[in-house]
Amino acid sequence: MTVTLEAAEGVGTLRLDRPPMNALDVATQDRLRELAEEATRREDIRAVVIYGGEKVFAAGADIKEMQVMDHAAMVARARALQDSFTAVARIPKPVVAAVTGYALGGGCELALCADFRIAGENAKLGQPEILLGLIPGAGGTQRLSRLVGPSRAKDLIFTGRQVRADEALTLGLVDRVVPAGEVYEQAHAWAARLAKGPAIALRAAKEAVDTGLETDIETGLAVERTWFAGLFATEDRETGMRSFVEEGPGKAKFL
Q: Is 129 a catalytic residue?
A: yes
Q: In this predicted structure, what is the pLDDT of residue 61?
A: 85
Provide the pLDDT for residue 10. 97
CA atoms within 13 A on the CB side of 1: 12
Phi first, then psi: give them for residue 12, nearest 5 degrees. Answer: -100, 130
- Quick: pLDDT tens for 29-77: 999 999 999 999 999 999 999 999 999 999 988 888 889 998 998 998 9
The rounded distance, in Å, linking the Cα atoms of 230 and 224 is 10
Mention every residue, 6+ apart, whose C-beta is less than 8 A from residue 13. Answer: 4, 5, 6, 7, 48, 49, 50, 51, 188
Single out the catalytic residue among 129, 238, 246, 247: 129
Q: What is the DSSP string of 199-216?
A: HHHHHHHHHHHHHHHHS-
The verdict on whether 235 is a catalytic residue reads: no
For β-strands 162-164 and 124-126, DSSP reports them as antiparallel
Q: What is the bridge-based pairing of β-strands 3-8 and 11-16?
A: antiparallel
pTM score, whole prediction: 0.95
pLDDT digits (tens, 9 = 90+) for 67-85: 999 899 899 899 999 999 9
Predicted local distance difference test score (pLDDT) of residue 91: 98
Encode pLDDT of 172-204 as tens digits: 999 999 999 999 999 999 999 999 999 999 999
pLDDT at 164 over 90: yes
Query: What's the rounded mean pLDDT across residues 210-237?
Result: 95
Catalytic-role residue among 109, 121, 185, 207: 109
pLDDT for 255 equals 82
- Run of H or E including 116: strand 116-120
Mean of pLDDT values over 109-124: 98
Tell me what the pLDDT averaged over the chain comes to: 96
pLDDT at 194: 97
Measured distance CA(222)–CA(212) in Å, rounded: 9
pLDDT of residue 46: 98
Alpha-carbon distance 237 to 243, whole Å?
A: 10
DSSP element (H, E) containing 119: strand 116-120
Judged by average pLDDT, the poorest of 70-74, 128-132, 150-154, 171-175 is 70-74
Element (H, E) at 102: strand 102-104
What band does 152 get if pLDDT is binned at 50, 70 and 90? very high
Q: Give the model's confidence band at 7: pLDDT under 50 very low, under 70 low, under 90 confident, else very high.
A: very high
Q: How far apart are CA 16 and CA 19, in angstroms?
A: 9
| pLDDT score at 143 | 97
